[in-house]
Chain A
Amino acid sequence: MKSSPNKGVLLQYWLSGALGGWGGTSDGKHKASTNAGGSVHGNSRPGAAGGGGGKVGLSGGLTQPAGWQSLLSFSILFLACLAGFSSRLFAVIRFESIIHEFDPWFNYRSTHHLTTNGFYEFLNWFDERAWYPLGRIVGGTVYPGLMVTAGLIHYVLNLLHITVHIRDVCVFLAPVFSGLTAISTFLLTRELWNQGAGLLAACFIAIVPGYISRSVAGSFDNEGIAIFALQFTYYLWVKSVKTGSVFWTIGCCLSYFYMVSAWGGYVFIINLIPLHVFVLLLMQRYSRRVYIAYSTFYIVGLVLSMQIPFVGFQPIRTSEHMAAAGVFALLQAYAFLQYLKDRLTRQEFQTLFFLGVSLAAGMVFLTVIYLTYTGLYVRLLTCYAKIHIPIIASVSEHQPTTWVSFFFDLHILVCTFPAGLWFCIKNINDERVFVALYAISAVYFAGVMVRLMLTLTPVVCMLSAVAFSSVFEHYMGDDTKREKPPEKAEEGLGPNIKSIVTMLMLMLLMMFAVHCTWVTSNAYSSPSVVLASYNHDGTRNILDDFREAYYWLRQNTDEHARVMSWWDYGYQIAGMANRTTLVDNNTWNNSHIALVGKAMSSNESAAYQIMRSLDVDYVLIIFGGVIGYSGDDINKFLWMVRIAEGEHPKDIRESDYFTPQGEFRVDKAGSPTLLNCLMYKMSYYRFGEMQVRRGALTPPGFDRTRNAEIGNKDIKFKHLEEAFTSEHWLVRIYKVKKLDNREPLDHKLRSVVPKQKYTSKKVPLMLGGEFALQVWRDSFRFS
């Protein structure tokens, strides 16, 4: 257990031990719980980080409970942040400090633009290197929060003469923010339940895979900072509902503003908070505090959110924001009725009440329900209803969630958080209404779409922490010292049972920590820009083909060369090779993508027409047949065909690419359309000569990804030529030739030598006349 990947495990184990001790302290008796905590973590202390030492020294300070409490919770929180930060560094340690995947490359590129050219230049940035020939208005089509945050940190560090490259700021931004998320989760849970639950929740969120999946070092994406903003906004909201103070509400609005600037998921907040208020009204839990909090939040938050250029006037136009407006109106009406209730007699009020309520509340209620229903829910529901739009269906994130992914991402938490929900509802108050609604709506959305697991994760951590904390609170600690009145004999379940329960619960938490470490290390820490393969003896091969190819493009092509590739690689080409792309991961223009798909799936001469019309200089494809990489372009090819078919049904037909039996095959039995389309030819050009596995009994041209010998080994190009193929053939780049010279005529030129030997004097004159006629005609044509 001493090896470095298990560091997070040990920390978590230690923490849960310490927390167990913490649970018992809620009524001020500390001695017993210290012993319990100490004994639990005793065996793991040698491997744990230095934090363990500080705690031993603390035992002298037991006489001052408050100081002891705050120091312990501070150190636990600090260690949680540290564990969260360090468990996200697998990718950096194994590979290097690079940006991962696809979208982060765009974010990195725009952050780079921001730091070199300044904020206003960034807001006005028109990127002519993307979506050639259309271009893209970047400033108005991104959520700038991420870039501004990274740029600001970079600026401050440079101001302090800590000169770091902006890339390192970008790589480590998400882990740093995961620490902040842990803190804000702690604060929120403390408001909802108690401090012990808060600390447990902070530990859970620090290492839970559902959140790590979006926030490992190098994944420089909106979600990394948005979850912090989400949790912090909710904390401030709960705080403002509890206190009813404008101060906290304004804080909540500012945090909401940050969230709006960071991620499109702010829609979740602007629907959840009104829902909370609405349910509070239904439960007759209306109070001045709620009125002040929501009225302030809605108005200030609305104004602030409209300051983001990409959001603009959406908050007052689109249906997913209408629920908030409806609840605002309802709250005003309700408050007005409450006011009248004090002023009018009972009889008057009753008539007015029936009139007003039946009209206003009914109307507003229906509008709210209708708009929420059509707006938010339908929008999320249609994500799968739109299966017939291939570009949405082709993104794997837009799929519903199986139970396996729930368990994979949350492990023990997914089974225990309903218990926390149960406790919250049984002991309901204003803010627990909030967390219950949060849990139910988030679990629904996570069920609809894998991607929204991210919004579920924080609430699962909080509620599981509530469940575990209430168990530890009762089972940890010694009976003999806890009893306030000694004669209260019915208290004890017996120390044996208690310690068994405690031990088993800690075992579960330990399994959770091990699972988290395993998942983080194996599933969520691959940069996907650099691939790694392992030999039988455990040594590692690094396949750096992508960067090799992009660097080749950067060095060997014209600065303004246009590179055509499938949209997955657009951001990487722009970010790493700094060349103009036709389509990229911001899939805003379906017809442009369909055109590229059509070029890829047509035969060479038809594709050449398209490529000429789009000014393509190079074509880049990903081919995994040599090393058995399954995410290559041939495996994605059917999506290209489908997307192309959607826009050009006359030219491209999906059925042409299947065998008569309806199979997609690349070998001899494959359909002739497939074997002659551009993508196939580019992938397998010269592959027929290649013996992939030496010594084994495979024929030349054996595709390891699809386990088939290719069907068309004799591939020749007329309009393209191979420009570059990377070491493992993973990336292949072709140059599109310029138009040939005019083809020589098939028939012989007419010989002007007359057959007769003699020459008449008129002949030259006649020729001259013809020539003059030709000149006259030409001049006519050009005029």
Chain B
Amino acid sequence: MSSSDVTNFFFLFQNLAPTLPIMQPSHLVTSLENLLSEKVDQMMEWSSRRSVVRMNGDKFRRFVKAPPRNYSVIVMFTALQPQRQCSVCRQANEEYQVLANSWRYSSAFSNKLFFTVVDYDEGADVFQQLNMNSAPTFMHFPAKGKPKRADTFDLQRIGFASEQLAKWIADRTDVQIRVFRPPNYSGTIALALLVSLVGGLLYLRRNNLEFIYNKTGWAMAALCVVFAMTSGQMWNHIRGPPYAHKNPQNGQVSYIHGSSQAQFVAESHIILLLNAAITMGMVLLNEAATSKGDVGKRRIICLVGLGLVVFFFSFLLSIFRSKYHGYPYR
């Protein structure tokens, strides 16, 4: 049964449904039961095919909103179409898929809980109906009654990690889901690839391994690590700050964070360059004194080195001062 068939079928059914009680009041109970079991069967069939059921406006109204239900539904309202440019939606969707798969393939899988998704481009009317103007949003529709305030997942505060979602679902529905993340082999594969690449390169050049003994290369690599760390790249990696801040009022872009507790990515790059320049200045000063060559040339190298050290250090100091208000010596 293709999806268009399903929609048509239920269009028909929905038209009939209001008339049923009037025509045959004695069959009210049985028909409701039939309706319910039919809905449950349908939902089960879909979720056995895909762990997250895609819904449009009509399906949503029929299966999620309409009353005869004995199952809870978690709905993710989102906008996954590429032209919407919602990168958060995509990340949230991945987490949601992980969670739904954990539920789908867990031993506790039952017809008490279903995971569905409504895309804005397929069910814009649902968004309007629920008065919703931001995506992604997670909502829980309980088996009985209307969703309460706590049935909307607090995305801003908790984030959308699957574990947090599972905790929220356990809180709302008493269904415990153990999140099982498919192990991520990409890192291992990349590492293996890198190792084999390096190994292959070494093997190919096995007759000329001089470059391994090249001290300059090793020194460069060591300095790269040092510069990356002292400019706070690890902080960037963990905290994920924005690249720079653009003031919405006047459109000015600031690259330096005003507080001493935080930094922008651009700022850390600037610092990295400044540190490298100062180090280079020190090295040049030493080169100028030790190398054997033309005195005039060496003088120039020496002055350039000195200039690098003094100029960039004072620059660094002024950036530091702009972050530490009241730094001037007392």
Contact = CB atoms under 8 A, between A and B. Distances in A.
Given A406-B232, A447-B234, A508 B225 contact: no
B163 interface: yes
Interface string A416-433: 111101110110100000
A470 B288 CA distance: 12
Interface stretch (B46-54, B78-86, B108-116, B277-285): B277-285
B235 A497 contact: no
A53 interface: no
Interface in A538-557: none
Contacts of A492: 295
B154 A402 contact: no
Contacts of B320: 404, 407-408
Given A421-B226, A474-B286, A662-B156, A416 B278 contact: yes
A493 B295 contact: yes
A384 B238 contact: yes
Interface stretch (B92-100, B137-145, B302-310): B302-310
Interface stretch (A168-176, A438-446, A685-693): A438-446
Contacts of A515: 329
A518 interface: yes
A401 interface: yes
B316 A415 contact: yes
Interface in A479-522: 490, 492-494, 497, 500-501, 504, 508, 511, 514-515, 518, 522
B157 A418 contact: no
A425 B219 CA distance: 6
Contacts of B302: 493, 497, 501
Contacts of B295: 490, 492-493
B37 to A, nearest CB: 34
Contacts of B290: 474
A447 B233 contact: yes
A384 B285 CA distance: 40
A277 interface: no
Contacts of B286: 419, 423, 467, 470-471, 474
Nearest to A6: B329
B260 interface: yes
A448 B237 CA distance: 10
A443 B226 contact: yes
A649 B158 CA distance: 14
B231 interface: yes
Contact of B275 (A415, A428, A448): A415
Interface string B287-330: 01110100100110011001001100100110010011000011
Specify which of A422, A448, A474 lies most central, judged by the most chain B CB atoms within 10 Å of its CB: A422
B289 A475 contact: yes
Contact of B288 (A388, A436, A467, A493): A493
Contacts of B292: 490
B227 A655 contact: no
Interface residue tally of chain B, by bracket? 35 or more
A412 interface: yes
Contact of A501 (B149, B225, B274, B285): B285
A403 interface: yes
A414 interface: yes
Nearest to B310: A504
Nearest to A407: B320
B242 to A, nearest CB: 15
B222 A404 contact: no
B229 A662 contact: no
Contacts of A662: 154, 156-157
Interface stretch (B19-27, B177-185, B245-253, B261-269): B261-269
Given A403-B271, A504-B310, A497 B226 contact: no
A467 B289 CA distance: 13
A658 interface: yes
Dominant SS among interface residues on chain B? helix
A400 interface: yes
Contacts of A658: 157
A55 B2 CA distance: 97
A500 B230 contact: no
Given A401-B234, A440-B226, A447-B229, A655 B275 contact: no
A426 B217 CA distance: 10
B231 A421 contact: no
Contacts of B283: 419, 422-423
Interface residues of A, number: 56
Contacts of A428: 215
Interface string A694-738: 000000000000000000000000000000000000000000000
A412 B313 contact: yes
Nearest to A449: B234
B223 interface: yes
A703 B107 CA distance: 53
Given A403-B263, A404-B323, A501-B285, A443 B303 contact: no
Contacts of A649: 167, 171
A174 to B, nearest CB: 25
B206 interface: no
Given A494-B299, A518-B329, A416 B229 contact: no
Given A421-B219, A422-B219, A649-B171, A400 B154 contact: no
Contacts of A388: 163
Given A418-B279, A426-B215, A404 B223 contact: no
A403 B319 CA distance: 11
Given A414-B230, A414-B275, A415-B279, A402 B235 contact: yes
A401 B329 contact: no
B169 to A, nearest CB: 13
Nearest to B270: A403
A425 B222 contact: yes
Contact of B229 (A408, A436, A444, A494): A444
Nearest to B223: A418
A447 B302 CA distance: 32
B215 A403 contact: no
A143 B150 CA distance: 48
Interface string B157-173: 10000010001000100
B148 interface: no
A648 to B, nearest CB: 13
B218 interface: yes
A447 B232 contact: yes
Contacts of A655: 150, 154, 157
Interface in A449-489: 467, 470-471, 474-475
Contact of A400 (B222, B225, B234, B306): B234
A768 B268 CA distance: 92
A681 B117 CA distance: 44
B208 interface: no
Nearest to B150: A655
Nearest to B284: A419
B31 to A, nearest CB: 40
A440 B163 contact: no
Contacts of A497: 299, 302-303
B230 A400 contact: no
Contacts of A660: 149
B215 A493 contact: no
A358 to B, nearest CB: 13
A185 to B, nearest CB: 19
A402 B263 contact: yes
22 contacts: A388-B163, A400-B237, A402-B235, A403-B263, A403-B267, A408-B324, A414-B275, A415-B313, A416-B279, A436-B222, A439-B222, A440-B222, A440-B225, A444-B229, A444-B234, A446-B229, A494-B299, A497-B302, A501-B302, A514-B329, A655-B157, A662-B157
Given A447-B234, A470-B286, A654-B157, 20 more contacts: A400-B239, A401-B235, A403-B231, A404-B320, A412-B313, A416-B278, A418-B227, A418-B279, A419-B279, A421-B222, A425-B218, A425-B222, A440-B222, A440-B226, A444-B225, A474-B290, A493-B289, A501-B302, A508-B309, A658-B157
Closest A-B pairs by Cβ, 5 of them:
A474-B289, A419-B282, A447-B234, A447-B229, A425-B219
